[in-house]
Amino acid sequence: MSVLLLKSMKMLKTNIYLACFVVIASTNCTSNAKIIVNPLPGKVEGTLKCSIPVELGFTTEQFKIIGVFTTWDLKSQIMMNRFRKTRAFFKKKSSSLSFNFIFIDTDSRMVDNWYKSFKPDFTTLYDKDFRFCRKKTMSVPTMIIMNKKRHVCYIYSGVVTSDTLAKQIEDSISTCR
């Protein structure tokens, strides 16, 4: 039984490396960058530099936290709420952060209606063909944390807790230079 367990663990380890390779290859990152699964999902080790839309350009803030969503997706709605909750927490603590939404809905009227309903006090962008690191963003929700030097600290798709998002931001502030 222990031999079977060891074989399963080796296969799991191989699958994790394969998944990381696929993620890295799909983000056009440099050869010295890798995405770490633990302890916090989506952490980028090494150098991954990407540009962002000019409308989201850096001013005085040191870090951008960008959420890529659609208005109709349930997971996007969950992460939008967690994003806003985390934003409220950090707004009290630090002015060196900027939180932004990018919507990739196919119909801009959905985004207009969302905007009229929620009246966000942060930059919200509609770009149905949004590309990050030259790759079209296909899955939502996607979270991106990057510093002013355009180094990507975290990038991942899926839902995390508000606590995990806050830890990712704190980790970025302390380690992503």
- For residue 24, which of 14, 36, 13 has the smallest C-alpha distance? 36
Give the chain's domain count.
1
Q: Quick one: pLDDT at residue 23?
A: 39
Question: In 48-65, which positions are buried (b, 16+ CB within 10 angstroms) versus exposed (e)?
Answer: bebebeeebeeeeebbbb
pLDDT of residue 157: 94
- Contact between residue 44 and residue 155 where contact means Cβ atoms under 8 Å apart: yes
The pLDDT, as a whole number, for residue 79 is 97
Assessment of whether the complete model's pTM goes beyond 0.75: yes
Sign of CA dihedral 41, 43, 48, 49: positive
Question: Can you give the CATH number for the domain in which 156 is found?
Answer: 3.40.30.10
pLDDT at residue number 34: 62
Range of the domain at 169: 2-175
Tell me what pLDDT residue 36 has. Answer: 56
By CB atoms closer than 10 A (0-12, 13-18, 19+), residue 172 is buried
Q: What is the mean pLDDT of each run of 10 residues along the chain (177 residues)?
A: 40 38 39 60 87 90 96 96 94 87 96 95 93 90 95 95 95 91
Q: Where are the alpha helices (DSSP H) in the chain?
A: 2-26, 74-93, 108-118, 162-175
* Chain centroid offset of residue 108 CA: 22
Matching residue, tokens 């807790």: 161
